[in-house]
Structure formats: C-alpha cells, structure tokens
Amino acid sequence: MNRLKIIALLADRMPLTVTEIADELGISFRATSRHLLLLSSLDILVSQGKDGHVYYGYNSSMPVDIKKIVELFLHNL
C-alpha cells in the first residue's frame, strides 16, 4: 500500500526527495528508499540528482501497459 501512496503523492506533485516523501507518508527513510528504488526500476518513477539530493517524480512516459495498471490502482485509492 505504501508504494501506491508514493505513486499517488508523486503523481500530484513536483518531484520530492526521499526525506520529503517519508515525512509526508509517515514511513521510515529506509523503507521509503527501498520502495523508490523498486518503483524506479519498474519505470514508474524517475529520479534526478540536484544540489546533493535525489528527487523522485512520476514518470509520465512509462510503458503504456504499466501506465494503465498504475492508473487503475490510483483511481481505486
């Protein structure tokens, strides 16, 4: 469920750091990092380093089949 919350959070906002996401959702930094790495490896999220931080955002150009599944889950939250 936390992964879906992360996706929903980033789909509605500008890119956020791991710390910002963890604070917003009330989960640990370590757990958040693991979720973000997995979601990035699936092309659901994108990341970019800037000023010593890594920012994660929703990948609007993810593969179409994955995007359909993600959007289906997001509409059911």
> What is the SS3 assignment for the chain?
CHHHHHHHHHHHCCCEEHHHHHHHHCCCHHHHHHHHHHHHHCCCEEEEEECCEEEEEECCCCCHHHHHHHHHHHHCC
What is the model's pLDDT at position 30?
96
Domain boundaries, the chain: 2-75
Tokens of 55: 């920012």
Could you say which of 1.10.10.10, 3.40.91.10, 3.40.50.150, 1.10.1040.10 is the CATH number of the domain covering 2-75? 1.10.10.10
pLDDT tens-digit series, residues 35-77: 999 999 999 999 999 999 999 999 989 999 988 988 888 887 6
Of 54, 44, 47, whose CA–CA distance to 19 is shortest? 54
Mean pLDDT of the region 2-27:
94
Q: How far apart are CA 34 and CA 3, in angstroms?
A: 10
What is the model's pLDDT at position 43?
93
Residue of higher predicted confidence among 1 and 45 = 45
pTM of the model: 0.86
